[in-house]
Amino acid sequence: MATMHDVARLARVSVSTVSYVLTGTRPISQATRDKVLAAMAELDYQPNAMARGLASRRSRILGLLMPMDERGLGATETAFVTGAAAAASTAGYHLVLSPVGGGDLDDLRRLATQRMLDGVVLMEVQLADERVTVLQEAGVPLVLIGRTGDTSALSYVDIDFEQTVREAVAHLVGLGHRRIVYVNHSAATLASGYGPALRTRDAFVSAMTGHGLEPVMIAAEDSAAGGRAALAAAFAQAPELTAVLAMNETAIFGILGELTGRGLSVPDDVSVVSMVTSPQVAELATPALTAMTSPGSALGRIAIEALLRHLDGPAGGRHQQLLPCALEIRGSTAAPRSRQPMGADQ
C-alpha cells in the first residue's frame, strides 16, 4: 500500500505538495501537478481514509440513520436511500446506513461522539424524538426527514402531507365520491405521535370539511388483518362509502382482500387510493392502485445537499422544505357506480 511519502519521493516533491494536489487547498503549477498525478497512477496510490480523517478532522462520511423493523423497507424508503447515496457520492462523501432501531441510543451516541460521522440524516423522525436530542448534544450536524413537533430550530425535508391529502381527496371528489373513508395507521401509532399519521388525519378532516363532506377516519393495524378489520369498521360507520383513502401499505392488501370477499368490485363499487406508495407496490395489486407517489429519491438528495451545506458554512441556517406526492391514476379509482361524476370543486 503506497503512502504519500512514496508518491512524493517518486515525483521528487514534498509530501505537502502531494497533499495540495489532492485537496486543491493551495495552487500548484501544472507541471508539478502532472508529475504528482503520474506518480500516483504508477503506484496505484489511494489515500488512507483514517489518516486523512484524523488530520483534517473530517471523515467525509455521512450517516443515514434508518429504521429497520421487521416489516422491511418499502420501495419508498429504498428510493430515498439511493437518492441520498447518489447525492453523497457526487459530493465525494460516503454514505453509511446505520440500522439503529429504537433501542440502541447508546450505539448512536457512540457513533456520533467518536467523530466518525461528519453529519447525519435522520429518517422516520417522531414528533418527539430522542435521537435528535442525542445528536444535538453531540454537536453533529443534522437534517431530518420528517419533522419533530417543534420545527423551529432544525433543518428538515418532509412530504407535504397536507397538500398530498388535499389532492387525493380532490381526485375522489372530482370523480363524484361523497362518502370517503380514510384508513390511517393504528391507534397506537397515532398515540405515539407519529407525525405523518397525525398530519394526514388533520389534513383529511380539513380537506373533507372544505368540500362540505363528513370526514370518517379509521385506524388500522399495520397488517392485512388490520386492513380487513378496518374495512369492516368503515362499513359499520359509513355504510354507503364509495371510496377508501389509505396510508398504510400493509393494510391496503387486507382492505382489497376484504372488499373482494364482500363481493365488491374495485373500482366499480369502491374506489381505492393509496398514499405515499411506490409504483412497485401499487402494481402488485389487482387492479393496480391509484396512488400518491412519494418523491423518494428527490427527498434523499435534497436532505444530503442540505446537510452538506451545513458542513461547509455553519452560518448556513436551517433548510426546511416540503415536497408533495404526485397523483398517479391507475385502475383502482373510477366514478362511483350510482351517481354521475360531479365535476366537483376544482
Partner DNA sequence: AATCTTCGTCGAAGCGGTTCGACGAAGCGG
Partner DNA sequence: CCGCTTCGTCGAACCGCTTCGACGAAGATT
Site residues, a copy of itself (CB under 8 A): 1, 46-51, 53-54, 59, 68-79, 81-82, 85, 89, 94-99, 101, 104, 107, 110-111, 113-116, 223-225, 228, 250, 253-254, 257-258, 260-261, 278, 280, 283-286, 288
Nearer to DNA, 54 or 68 (CB): 54
Q: Does 28 bind DNA (CB under 7 A)?
A: yes
Least separation in angstroms between CB 26 and DNA = 4
Least separation in angstroms between CB 237 and a copy of itself = 23
Question: How big is the chain, counted in residues?
Answer: 346
- What is the spatial distance between Cα 129 and Cα 193, in angstroms, rounded to a whole number? 10
First to last CA, the chain: 66
- What is the spatial distance between Cα 138 and Cα 110, in angstroms, rounded to a whole number? 9
User: Which of the residues 31 through 70 are near DNA (CB under 7 A)?
Assistant: 31-33, 45-48, 51-52, 54-57
Among DNA, a copy of itself, none, residue 103 binds (CB under 5-8 Å by kind): none
Least separation in angstroms between CB 2 and DNA = 7
Place of cell 378496518: 230
Among DNA, a copy of itself, none, residue 104 binds (CB under 5-8 Å by kind): a copy of itself
Nearer to a copy of itself, 169 or 234 (CB): 234
Is the CB of residue 84 less than 8 Å from the CB of residue 303? Answer: yes
- What is the spatial distance between Cα 39 and Cα 8, in angstroms, rounded to a whole number? 8
- What is the spatial distance between Cα 325 and Cα 295, in angstroms, rounded to a whole number? 6
Among DNA, a copy of itself, none, residue 85 binds (CB under 5-8 Å by kind): a copy of itself
**Residue type at 263 in one-letter notation:** G
**Residue type at 117 in one-letter notation:** L
* SS3 state at 7: helix
- What is the spatial distance between Cα 169 and Cα 208, in angstroms, rounded to a whole number? 7
Least separation in angstroms between CB 226 and a copy of itself = 10
Least separation in angstroms between CB 12 and a copy of itself = 25
- What is the spatial distance between Cα 207 and Cα 168, in angstroms, rounded to a whole number? 9
Query: Max Cα separation, the chain?
Result: 86
Least separation in angstroms between CB 21 and a copy of itself = 17
Site of interaction with DNA (CB under 7 A): 1, 3-5, 12-17, 19-20, 22-23, 25-29, 31-33, 45-48, 51-52, 54-57
